[in-house]
Amino acid sequence: MRKTWLIFSQAVTVAVAVLFVVATLKPDWVRRQPGNGLPSIVSISQAPSIQTVSLPPGGSAPSYSGAARRASPAVVSITASKAPARSPHGEDPWFKFFFGEQGAQQREQPQVGLGSGVIVSPEGYLLTNNHVVEGADDIEVQLVDARRAKAKVVGSDPDTDVAVLKITLDKLPVIAFGSAETLQVGDVVLAIGNPFGVGQTVTSGIVSALGRNQLGINTFENFIQTDAAINPGNSGGALVDTNGNLLGINTAIYSRSGGSLGIGFAIPETTARQVMEGLIRDGQVTRGWIGVEPRDLTPEIAETFNLPIKEGVLITGVLQNGPAASGGLRPGDVVVKVADTPVGNTVQLLAAVAALKPKEKAQIGVQRGDKALEISVMVAQRPRSKVVPRQE
């Protein structure tokens, strides 16, 4: 009996081994037809496949060389120098005795700043940042083809940190405008500029966020945030899409070390173009102004004042004899609408008021306690800002 069982177990072992080999090498031999009550063997080719990213011919990663090639010629390096104030001790013999001739000369050397710019028209108009050229006595622009030219400031707008320059050269490369309004978080972008003065550099990344504001950089903020490497010297350079079209002007970074930490901010091309047109046409950007000090309405403030609304802008101060005061606006009022534009925070209020035409009346919708009012205000022109934007 024991011998019989041993023979049987050996036979079963051999049969299982043979079946395994056949199933592995010739699966079609053991596949059953559906409907016979036995599970069918599904080959790997029949199983649902894992989706993979299609690569261009040749199997290489996507290349943005075409976009860089189209946009780079229009991105320039800017050297802005400011003559130092002449020292009253420059010719003082005692001053020279303590600091020496070389020390006296070093104290009178001009201040030089580096930045970038973007050629946006065949006539030679360039977009850059206000903080790149502010206070400069001499501005020189260098193109990728090594040509150099002196630039003059057509106008600047500290409120958005945009400046417009003009150079006179023939056959200028011009960048094409893209559409910042169609941008989405996750879109690939390239940053082109002259970081640290090393020469033109192209970096890539994605759009990390849109509509960034309340950063304390400019008065009017609507930044494109990107993780493309932006460093000092990139200011005024181009943020472009994968077709090489201009999406924004790189303006600032968040950094504790002075280098890129993957958080950079660019002014959208829509804002830059609007400012440029005003500066070229009028020499300044004309914005509405009503003379109020605003603050976001919080749920706590709304509850404290027993307000029936949850969104709006609390007016904490009104300029004496200003447009708002003359129209009847008071501290404690909550602005909910400017003309036909609803406002829910201070950023929206600034933008809505700035869009109003000076010397024209506008209806301001306010909530005063439990009453909803319409106040007519004669809009004035916003005074030119004297605040210097924070640099990179």
Q: Which residues are catalytic?
A: 131, 161, 235
Q: Is 244 left (phi over 0), alpha (psi -120 to 50) or beta?
A: left
Residue that is written with structure tokens 């002196």 in the block: 150
CA 78 to mean position of chain CA atoms: 20
Question: Based on the number of CB atoms within 10 Å of its own CB, is 150 exposed (0-12), middle (13-18) or buried (19 or more)?
Answer: exposed
Q: Rounded distance, CA 223 to CA 212, Å?
A: 5
Extract the tokens encoding 372.
């909803």
CB atoms within 10 A of CB 232: 20
β-sheet bridge partners, residue 24: none
Structural element, H or E, at residue 125? strand 125-129
Determine contact, residues 136/80, Cβ cutoff 8 Å.
yes
Distances (CA, A) of 218 to 143, 181, 223, 389: 28, 20, 10, 6
CB atoms within 10 A of CB 98: 10
